[in-house]
Amino acid sequence: MRHILKIAGLLAVLLAVWIGLLQSSLISPQDALLLPVYLIIALGCYGLGMVGIGLLVFPTCPKEALLLEKDVAEAKAFFREIWGGCQFP
């Protein structure tokens, strides 16, 4: 709940700054109208970059995978010994 309040506050501040820029003649209104689109583009870039970072640092554990495969083979051999004649896929 606090998080959503923080985001809402940030959006309100951005809206206030934007309206201020629109009212003042610091930059031309044609350029100031582009800023929300810029915000959306920045958000999209952030999301895409986060997906990229997630893919880049995705943890894989090849050592543990080898150990697990060894365990599976061991278990299969063990059960084959107990129930001889049973078929395992």
Partner 1 sequence: MELGDKAIGFFLLTFSFSLFAYYTFWVVILPFMDGDHFVHKYFLPKEYAIIIPTVTGVAVLSFLMVFIGFIMLKSKPKAL
- Give the binding site for partner 1 (CB under 8 A): 27-28, 30-31, 34-35, 37-38, 40-42, 44-46, 48-49, 51-58, 60
Residue 28 DSSP code: -
- Looking at beta carbons only, is 5 or 37 nearer to partner 1? 37
Residue 40 beta carbon to partner 1: minimum distance, rounded to whole angstroms: 7
* Minimal distance, residue 60 CB to partner 1, in Å: 6
Q: For the chain, give the longest Cα–Cα distance.
A: 87
Helix (H, G, I), strand (E, B) or coil at 83: coil
Distance CA 26, CA 12 (A): 20
